[in-house]
Amino acid sequence: MTFSYSITLSSFLKLQKDFKLIFDDLVHAGFSNVEMFGEPDETNRLHFKDLLSVHNIHVTGVTGMWGKSSINGWKRRLLSNDPSMVKCSVDYIFKCIELCNYFGGNKINICLLSDPINYLDVTHNNVREKEKSTLLEKCIPVLKKLSLFAKDYDVELVIEPLNRYSTPYCCNYQDALIILKNCPDVQLMLDTFHMNIEEDSFSKIILQADSRLAHIHFADNNRKMPGEGHIDFKEIVRSLKKISYNGYVSFEPILSDPDFGIEVKSGLDFIKNLELA
């Protein structure tokens, strides 16, 4: 068994570099799959489709742009108490599903963000479990509606827990289970950067998730490519093999150097070597 690899195009948005040159570098680094960034209203679809075709690059799915990852991310709060904010979030996901289908992808990640909680010091405190489950259960009907819409487009919704500094309501696997148990068409996505903050064990969570794990993002603890920090990716790769994981291993680094080629190739080779070990 060998993994299939991709990388998130959202990682390159702040480089101010032409995507033709970015795709040149990615192909040279060994990538043939990418995740499209989730900004449907700002994407020149025909331009990107031409670039992808010329470079023979396949789109695996769409990376949702939530919270501070986007200038409009603050409006994308499915857990908001403001109905207009929820509607904005639902409309955004509809557009991302259509975008995903247009590019031939089949997955989009959903992050469950809420209104700011001014009284909560997230570094030292957690939201009460009852408060957390009540709010998460409240969004189940919306997620069911969205998953049915996604199914019509051959797209799968995956819930991605974020760390507590992004959301105190769905920040680990146990939180996501509240959704997964009630939404059979919604699957799980894990992100090693967030897991490093919130989970006690990478292997324990991967083994527990088993077949519900449909997608995973790789980034080291410093949000760089794997191998540039201290996360034990050997343990993660071994655990993915144990559950016969057959989804994409998708890299999601934060990049600051336009000459990123060596960095992303080194991270890809690092994981490939662990896979073959």
**pLDDT interval class at 68 (50, 70, 90):** confident
Give the per-residue pLDDT at 116: 85
What are the tens digits of pLDDT across the range 167-218? 999 999 999 999 999 999 999 999 999 999 999 999 999 999 999 999 999 9
With tokens 């040279």, the residue in question is: 28
Kindly report the pTM of this predicted structure. Answer: 0.95
Query: What is the pLDDT at residue 122?
Result: 74
Distance (Å) of CA 185 to CA 146, 150, 156, 168, 181: 10, 10, 8, 24, 10
CB 109 within 8 A of CB 121: no
Q: How many residues does the chain have?
A: 277
CA dihedral 149, 40, 267, 204 (to 10 degrees): -30
CA distance 23 to 184: 36
Domain residue ranges of the chain, discontinuous segments joined by +: 4-276
What confidence score (pLDDT) does residue 87 get? 97
The helix or strand, by DSSP H or E, that contains position 203, with its residue range, turns out to be: helix 202-209
Torsion of CA 86, 88, 90, 93, to 10 degrees: -140
The percent of residues above 70 in pLDDT, for the chain, comes to 100
pLDDT for the residue 6:
98
Range 127-161 burial, b when 16+ CB lie within 10 A, else e? beeeebeebbeebeebbbebbebbeebebbbbbbb
% residues pLDDT > 90 (the chain): 87
What is the structure's pLDDT at 243? 97
Which of 9-23, 53-67, 114-128 has the weakest average pLDDT? Answer: 114-128
pLDDT band at residue 219 using 50, 70 and 90 as cut-offs: very high
For residue 277, the model assigns a pLDDT of 82
pLDDT digits (tens, 9 = 90+) for 97-130: 999 999 999 999 999 999 888 777 777 778 888 8
The answer on pLDDT for 1 being more than 70 is no
Q: What is the mean pLDDT of residues 131-144?
A: 95
pLDDT number for residue 203: 98
> SS3 sequence, 2-51?
CCEEEEEHHHHHHHCCCHHHHHHHHHHHCCCEEEEEECHHHCCHHHHHHH
Query: Lowest mean pLDDT: which of 67-71, 200-204, 221-225?
Result: 67-71
3-state secondary structure of 241: helix
- How far is 189 from 216, CA to CA, in rounded Å? 5
Would you put residue 223 in left (φ > 0), alpha (ψ -120 to 50) or beta? left
In whole angstroms, give the CA distance from residue 43 to residue 95.
11
Cα 114 to Cα 68, 128, 159, 203: the distances in Å are: 13, 15, 15, 29
CA distance 164 to 132: 12
Report the alpha-carbon distance of residue 20 to residue 72 in Å, rounded.
25
Structure token digits, residue 34: 């990418």
pLDDT in tens, 44-55: 999 999 999 999
Average pLDDT, the chain: 95
CATH number, domain 4-276: 3.20.20.150
